[in-house]
Chain A
Amino acid sequence: MRQDRPYSNIPGTYVLDPQHSMQGYELNMFCMSLNKPQNRDKFRLDEEAYLDDFPLTKEQRKAVLSRDWLGLLQLGGNIYYTFKLAIFDRRNMQYVGGAMSGVSEQEFTDMMIAGGRPVEGNLYTSEEK
């Protein structure tokens, strides 16, 4: 599988490409299972026991239980899937955006109201401060 990718030098971005999709399939499908109300009830009752039904790696399991939003992406998760866990927690996209980028929900919301994360400094990893 091709490892060098033209998008590898976009900062802070985890592309759901073939490699990522293979790594994260089971993790993403666990998240997908939370679409069903009966599964949400089961997960709420006992998170550890519910996770036993999904063949996650130790690291993925830990990231789910500790709600490590950035770690979930680094372990193969995709935001549309991992956000289902945030919905379960009644968290919004500003909270998760802040958690992934190291700021509070309010700081993240303020950044968006001010026009979003700027283009300058955020196109190539080589220009990161």
Chain B
Amino acid sequence: MANLFAGVGTSHVPGIGAAVDHDKTQLPYWKPLFDGYGPAREWMEREKPDVVIIVYNDHASAFSLELIPTFAMGVAAEFQPADEGYGPRQVPVVEGHPELAWHICESLIMDEFDMTIANKMPVDHGLTVPLSIMCGQPEAWPCKVIPLAVNVIQYPQPRGSRCFALGKAIRAAVDSFDEDLKVAVWGTGGMSHQLQGERAGFVNEPFDTAFLNDLTADKERLINIGHTEYMREAGSEGAELVMWLIMLGALDKDAKEVYRHYHVPASNTAAGLIILENP
């Protein structure tokens, strides 16, 4: 049977991907951030998940205001890096796992989560930057990927409680997949940041620290953070953190923190990373 063994929460700042792509990771500005990614890459190499479900948001790449799915899961065999205005990132094509992805979609919809199913979905920095963070620059990504795109740009975004419940339903789906696969879920985005307006550059380290702590210490508090609290306390784009709650919902109740890294700034953002493992 498939085994969902761990979760990762990480920021997906485009500048982090650009630093990797343009060989800037050892510059003084970026080095402290990338030094902290070292142990996470070692973990990834050691654990070798077969499939990673990456929860991310599309930033006006595959979707736009024309069509705004709240939850869209990619079931294709491959996903091309998107052109976000610079030309596509020169990173490997992302290989999917259609059988598991379809199984999860079917299970979720029967479980009353009305998913959007995507057969063609270019993937932007929201998905490829976490792969660069965790895997560096391989010839091919070392795992299959199931993209789960969440709308966090158009208000109202899904509530934290709904995201957590979706994570639980994903777990049930993975548990019932009849193939021996090692599966991880990554929740991406955040941490506190505001890209827009006169308040651009807003960062709230105490909020972020409490968020990282409560992924193990007080899930109930995190699940109940509302839209306004995210926008006020974590910045207008900090609301991306609801995507970490999908990852959290997919884990055991007593999942343990095995690694954490936090650094300000990555571009205009507070960058965080955490690894949680089921006992």
Contact = CB atoms under 8 A, between A and B. Distances in A.
Nearest to B66: A29
A113 B202 contact: no
Interface string A79-100: 1110110011000111011001
A112 B268 contact: yes
Interface in B75-96: 82-87
Interface of B: 15, 29, 59-61, 64-66, 82-87, 153-156, 192, 194-207, 227-228, 231-233, 236-237, 264-265, 267-268, 270
A93 B155 contact: no
Contacts of B85: 34-35, 40, 84, 87-88
A66 interface: no
Nearest to B192: A116
Contacts of B270: 116
Nearest to A116: B203
A12 B83 contact: no
Nearest to B207: A119
Interface of A: 6-7, 10-18, 21, 25, 28-29, 31-32, 34-37, 40, 70, 73, 78-81, 83-84, 87-88, 92-94, 96-97, 100-102, 108, 111-113, 115-117, 119, 122-124
* Interface residues of chain B: helix, strand, loop or mixed (majority): loop
Contacts of A96: 200
A116 B195 contact: no
B268 A100 contact: no
Given A16-B155, A29-B66, A84-B85, A119 B198 contact: no
A117 B199 contact: yes
Contacts of B268: 93-94, 97, 112, 116
Nearest to B206: A119
Given A29-B65, A123-B232, 15 more contacts: A10-B231, A12-B197, A12-B198, A15-B231, A15-B236, A16-B154, A21-B154, A32-B65, A88-B85, A108-B200, A112-B267, A113-B265, A116-B265, A117-B194, A117-B201
